Structures are given as structure tokens and as C-alpha cells.
Amino acid sequence: MNDSHPRGGTRRLAAGRLIDGFGRMHTDLRVSVTDRCNLRCTYCMPIDAAFKPRAELLTYEEIARVVQVAARLGIRSIRLTGGEPLMRSGLDELVRQLVAVPGIDDVALTTNGLLLAEQAERLRRAGLHRLNVSLDSLREDVFEAIARRRGLDRVLAGLAAARAAGFAAIRINAVSMRGLTEGEIVPLAEFCRREGFELRFIEFMPLDAEAGWADDRVLTGRAVRAILERHLGALVPAASGDPGQPAVDFTWGAGSGRVGFIDPVSAPFCERCDRLRLTADGQFRNCLFSTTEWDVREVLRGGIETGATLDAAIATLLGDCVRAKRAAHGIGAAGFERPARAMYQIGG
Ligand code: SAM
Ligand code: SF4
């Protein structure tokens, strides 16, 4: 598709890299492998979610091909996500293919952890570099209120298995929602410090499927930090090694470990964004809040291009997607438009 929404800047891909009209170079690709999930988190998915037929999802070979092309354009890190990525069978095989792509030096996974106990060892052997596990609460009743299914014990077993499998620097992602998760913050922090997990709090974004998001349901990173500091002492700002990373990191005042805040609503980091997305059904997106998608499945399956011409067509589409990227997501601004698809259909 053509670039229909440029707001300025160059329309060329500088030196074969994925640079948008605002000078942002893209090095990170989030790849969703499924829209299915074994939870129904209120902030992500409707209770009665309908899923894409399997035939509409990219195959692992198709995903690997896209990643090969993206790597030639400067993509360096891949994060596998969903839906729940561990529900797609043989995910370790995809990991094996992706870590072997020249230019890709980081392959990570975001999971709810329910199936991790069975798969951690296999994923580690396949070469997966990093692991984020989403966990909002250590109380089964709160976990169930959010996820609308049970599973806390399985997540904890998954974390233990991941550590036993040799994953270092496991990170816990926790979504914060006003009126719901305030009481979970300190127990989660104490758990992560005790167990040596890095902790990241993420603000609730307007990507749920049941229109439950409202400004006053966002528990800001600043509010979470205040709760932490009241109970656990002052946090100390920590340097980030990666300029593209959205989190603002701190170390605990006493003892080791880190805690970070991803504040896309109260403190957007769009000017540093280096991310692109590939949905499970083969659509490129240049933002979580993108209202346009670029159909790479059509390119892959259209049968018009093959071999090097197919790679060139994928590269052109990705370039179109990058050039159309807006300056910022615009949450809270007049005219902000929610994307038609919810988080589980995009890939968080
Ligand atoms: N199922 C996996 C999981 O939960 O980790 C991977 C997909 S999930 C969509 C990726 C991340 O997005 C999770 O950490 C989840 O908590 C987060 N997330 C989902 N919906 C969100 C929302 N509306 N606002 C902020 N974070 C959200
Ligand atoms: Fe599933 Fe992850 Fe969405 Fe929860 S946040 S419903 S675990 S995809």
C-alpha cells in the first residue's frame, strides 16, 4: 500500500535502513504468532473472543522469510508475542530459525507463563535469549479478576522452570489499573526482589476489546512509584543501555535489582520509538495505535513475486509502512482514534 499519512520529512529509506519521516531508525520487530490465548485479560481481549482461522496465520517459514528481509534493513531484535505465543505448537522451532538469521542478535519472548513450565527447557535449547513474563498480581482472586481464568500457580511454576532452564534476567511485566492493582504493587516488588526478577510496570493503554479503558482507570507510573517509595524507600535512577527502550529504570535504594516504568499514556516515548510490528495474520503495523496495516501475507501468498523479487516486495512494503509512521500515538489528544483491533489481535 502507498504511504498515505506522511507528516513531513524524507520519503526515502536512508542507506537501506528503516528510517521514518521523523528520523527514527527502526531496529526492533514485534512478531505475533497467534491471536489465541488461554487467559482473557480484561485489558486485552473480550470474554467471547473469536480467533483467526489457522490458514490466515503466517507459517513459521513465512515469518522467518519476513525476518530475513527485515534484518537486511537493520532490524536487530525480535520479540515473539501474541495472543499467547506458547499456545502455538513448536514455537521453539521458530526460535531456532530466527536466532540463525544473519543480523538478528536478540530473540525474546513475552508470555503469560501458563505453558512455560513445559516449554522453558526447549526454548532455551533453541537459543531464545530473553524472557518477559506477564504477572499483575500474586493473589489468585485478583489474578482471576483480571485474567478471567485461573492460573497463578502455573505462572509461578513457569517462572521457576525458566530459571532452572538457565534464563538470566527474567523480567516480570505488570499492568497497572486504578482501583484494581494498587494492592498488588508492593507484594510484586518484594517477590521480584527476593527472586531476582526485574520488574516493569506498564500503564493501561486504550487497547482493550470491551471499551473499558478510561483516563481515570490509568494508574500512572508516577503513582506506582510513589506507592513503592512509601513502602520500600527511595528508588535510584538507573542508566539505560538501550536508547530505544521505553522504560525508565531505577534500582532499589537498598539491595540489588531493578524496577522500570513504561508510561505510554502519562509520558509517551514516541520520539524514541524504534519498533515495528507484524501481526499473526501477516499485517505490518508501525505503531500499536496504527489505524492502517500493510498486508505482507498478500505479498507472500500472491504468487506474483518469487525469490529475490519477493524479498524486494517485502522490503518495499516494510519501507512504505515505516514512512507512514506518525510522530506520536496521540492518546489524549483531540482526534485520537482507537485502532479497530485490540491488543491480542495486534501483539503487545
Ligand atoms: N500473552 C502474552 C502475555 O500476556 O505476556 C503476550 C501478549 S500480551 C498482549 C503482551 C503484553 O501486553 C502483556 O504484558 C500484557 O499485560 C500487555 N497488555 C495487554 N493489554 C494491555 C493494555 N491494554 N495496556 C497495557 N498493556 C497491555
Ligand atoms: Fe492473553 Fe496476554 Fe492478552 Fe492476557 S494480555 S489475554 S495473557 S494475550
What is the spatial distance between Cα 126 and Cα 23, in angstroms, rounded to a whole number? 35
Tens of pLDDT along 124-155? 999 999 999 999 999 999 999 999 999 999 99
Ligand nearest to the CA of 33: 1
C-alpha gyration radius of the chain: 20
Residue type (1 letter), 17: R
Where would I find the H helices in 38-110? 60-72, 91-99
What's the pLDDT at 201? Answer: 98
Residue nearest to atom 17 of ligand 1 (CA): 348
What's the pLDDT at 11? Answer: 40
Task: Tell whether 13 is covered by a domain.
Answer: no
Expressed in angstroms and rounded, the spacing between residue 348 Cα and the centre of ligand 1 is: 5
What is the spatial distance between Cα 208 and Cα 41, in angstroms, rounded to a whole number? 9
Q: Residue written as cell 490466515?
A: 56
Q: Residue written as cell 526492533?
A: 28
SS (H, E, C) 24-78: CECCEEEEECCCCCCCCCCCCCCCCCCCCCHHHCCCHHHHHHHHHHHHHCCCCEE
Expressed in angstroms and rounded, the spacing between residue 162 Cα and the centre of ligand 2 is: 19
Angle at 192 between CA 266 and CA 80, to 5 degrees: 65
Task: Tell whether 105 is covered by a domain.
Answer: yes
Residue nearest to atom 11 of ligand 1 (CA): 348
Q: Strand, helix or coil at 30?
A: strand
Where would I find the H helices in 219-277? 221-232
Task: Tell whether 302 is covered by a domain.
Answer: yes
Expressed in angstroms and rounded, the spacing between residue 112 Cα and the centre of ligand 2 is: 7
Mean residue pLDDT across the chain: 92
* Beta-strand relationship, 275-278 and 283-285: antiparallel
Under the banding of pLDDT at 50, 70 and 90, the label for residue 6 is: very low
Mutate to test the pocket of ligand 2, among 34, 84, 116 (most ligand atoms within 8 A of CB): 84
How many CA atoms does the CB half-sphere of 191 hold within 13 Å?
20
Under the banding of pLDDT at 50, 70 and 90, the label for residue 178 is: very high
Residue type (1 letter), 255: G
Task: Look up the pTM and report it.
Answer: 0.94
Task: Tell whether 39 is covered by a domain.
Answer: yes
Under the banding of pLDDT at 50, 70 and 90, the label for residue 15 is: low
What's the pLDDT at 299? Answer: 97
What is the spatial distance between Cα 12 and Cα 10, in angstroms, rounded to a whole number? 6
Residue 193 structural domain:
28-346
Question: CB neighbours (10 Å) of residue 174?
Answer: 19
Ligand 1-lining residues (CB < 6 angstroms): 37, 43-44, 81-82, 84, 110-112, 134, 173, 175, 202, 204-205, 207-208, 343-344, 348
Tell me the three cell numbers of residue 322: 515505516
What is the spatial distance between Cα 336 and Cα 330, in angstroms, rounded to a whole number? 6
**Over residues 16-40, mean pLDDT:** 96
Task: Tell whether 21 is covered by a domain.
Answer: no
**Domain total of the chain:** 1
Angle at 348 between CA 61 and CA 338, to 5 degrees: 120
* Sheet strands (E) in 204-337: 235-237, 248-252, 258-262, 275-278, 283-285, 294-295
Q: Is the pLDDT of residue 331 over 90?
A: no
Tell me the three cell numbers of residue 263: 508510561
> Given the CA of residue 43, which atom of ligand 1 is nearest to it?
23
Task: Tell whether 16 is covered by a domain.
Answer: no
Task: Tell whether 86 is covered by a domain.
Answer: yes
Tens of pLDDT along 196-215? 999 999 999 999 999 899 99
Q: Is the pLDDT of residue 306 over 90?
A: no
Tell me the three cell numbers of residue 21: 519521516
Q: Which CATH number does the domain housing residue 84 bear?
A: 3.20.20.70
Task: Tell whether 106 is covered by a domain.
Answer: yes
What is the spatial distance between Cα 210 and Cα 227, in angstroms, rounded to a whole number? 29
Q: Strand, helix or coil at 203?
A: strand
**Over residues 203-230, mean pLDDT:** 95
What's the pLDDT at 2? Answer: 35
Question: CB neighbours (10 Å) of residue 263?
Answer: 22
Mutate to test the pocket of ligand 1, among 343, 344, 345, 346 (most ligand atoms within 8 A of CB): 343
